[in-house]
Structure 1
Amino acid sequence: MSDFERSSTARVIPPARPRKLAKVPFVELADGRLQGVVSSGSDIGRVYVSSVAAGTYAYACSTNNNRPCGGARGGFCNHIGALINESVLQYGAERVARYLRVDAGDGEATAQSLTMAMSGTRPSPADSKAAASVFSRFLRHLAYLELAPTTGPLPEMQWFPPTRTVA
């Protein structure tokens, strides 16, 4: 068993390229979707929860209080486009394409080629139900940013089993 398998921490994969968090503060490949939180371009107090399902490319985009996005009619809105762009910066185009099961054609995959390959899909009401859990995870990540730096344990992480000491 390797040191990584014995540790109680997850390996952190560095971003493929640095990205700016102001437009898309949260992006993840989880639950069979590319999903995340995208800031509104017109209202500083509004964010959108956007997602694209792997394989079917069904998409959903709504505000944090479950109002549908006005731009997601018949195709990807600007929020989903920004989410795809930032996911490529975070994870790399090949990893995003592999996760979403997108064939971007010949040549190197880019955010634009992924978006073009997935175009023509329809919104999915089932995917819009995931918005609450995505937004909740985003808020949990924000809470960690407010904590003072410490090397001590965090109470919510106490579910890890204690390590044995060898005498």
Structure 2
Amino acid sequence: MGDGALSVWERSSTVRVVPSARPRKLAKVPFAELADGRLQGVVSSGSDIGRVYVSSVEAGTYAFACSTNNNRPCGGARGSFCNHIRALVDEAVLQYGVERVARYLKAELTGEDPSGYSVFNAMYSTRPAQGDSSAAAQVFSRFLRHLAYLEYAPVTAPLPEMQWFPTTRAVA
């Protein structure tokens, strides 16, 4: 491939999807991503089926934010991580693997048990501060956009709205 030839997946309109580290149950945390210097996602409410929370943890500082999709603050995120943040970390570990999540968040893992629990403990021991929830609208918007793709029939043809994705090939 060093001679400029492209592999089959580089020539196609689809890109390989990295499978989850382990199977996930999407009912509790339907959306988790490592983006914009944060672990962020959408977490279902434990008490109200119609409510979701947009939660995030900043890499390195572990500043956290949690609010409803209507920008109401989470009652459990007062001075410490709430259960939504904990669920988000656990699901991110299932989706991306503990090493990738810990590396992205700059969490120093200790002990013999590399898991979501160990990532959460590494963050918790730093006594993080409550952060800014201004990114919640963008995260929730991306989640809704991902849901819209579930309504499309599976096809191999390119989707016009996905054409902005960067390619691995340099364009002259």
Query: Which category of TM-score, normalised to the shorter sequence, fits these structures?
Result: 0.7 to 0.9
TM-score, with normalisation over the residues of structure 2? 0.85
TM-score, with normalisation over the residues of structure 1? 0.88
Q: Which residue of 2 aligns with 1:105?
A: 110
Counterpart pick for 2:26 among 21, 27, 30:
21
Following superposition, the deviation at residue 8 of structure 1 comes to: 4.8
Q: Which residue of 2 aligns with 1:133?
A: 138
User: Counterparts of 1:118 and 1:99 in 2: how far apart (Å)?
Assistant: 12
User: Do the aligned residues in 1 keep the contact of 2:38 with 2:58 (CA within 8 Å)?
Assistant: yes
State the SS of the aligned residue for 1:61: strand
Q: Which residue of 2 aligns with 1:61?
A: 66
User: Counterparts of 1:16 and 1:159 in 2: how far apart (Å)?
Assistant: 28
Asked if 1:11 corresponds to 2:16, the answer is yes
State the SS of the aligned residue for 1:122: coil
User: Counterparts of 2:94 and 2:151 in 1: how far apart (Å)?
Assistant: 25
User: Counterparts of 2:74 and 2:51 in 1: how far apart (Å)?
Assistant: 11
Change (3 A) 1:116 1:159: closer
User: Do the aligned residues in 2 keep the contact of 1:8 with 1:160 (CA within 8 Å)?
Assistant: no
| Residues paired across the two proteins, number | 159
For structure 1, which runs of at least 5 residues remain unmatched after alignment? Answer: 162-167
Q: Which residue of 1 aligns with 2:49?
A: 44
Following superposition, the deviation at residue 10 of structure 1 comes to: 3.4
Q: Which residue of 1 aligns with 2:131?
A: 124
Q: Deviations over 1:13-39 (max 9, x none)?
A: 100000100000000000100000000
User: Counterparts of 1:61 and 1:46 in 2: how far apart (Å)?
Assistant: 13
User: Counterparts of 2:38 and 2:152 in 1: how far apart (Å)?
Assistant: 29
User: Counterparts of 1:6 and 1:32 in 2: how far apart (Å)?
Assistant: 30
Change (3 A) 1:87 1:116: same
Q: Which residue of 1 aligns with 2:36?
A: 31
User: Counterparts of 2:39 and 2:162 in 1: how far apart (Å)?
Assistant: 26
User: Do the aligned residues in 2 keep the contact of 1:61 with 1:69 (CA within 8 Å)?
Assistant: yes
User: Do the aligned residues in 2 keep the contact of 1:97 with 1:109 (CA within 8 Å)?
Assistant: no
For structure 2, which runs of at least 5 residues remain unmatched after alignment? Answer: 167-172
Moved more, 85-94 or 104-113: 104-113
State the SS of the aligned residue for 2:76: coil
Following superposition, the deviation at residue 122 of structure 1 comes to: 1.1
Asked if 1:157 corresponds to 2:156, the answer is no
* Percent identity over paired residues: 73
Equivalent position amino acid for 1:44 in 2: I
Q: Which residue of 2 aligns with 1:87?
A: 92
Equivalent position amino acid for 2:56 in 1: S
User: Do the aligned residues in 1 keep the contact of 2:14 with 2:158 (CA within 8 Å)?
Assistant: no
RMSD: 1.9
Q: Which residue of 1 aligns with 2:151?
A: 146
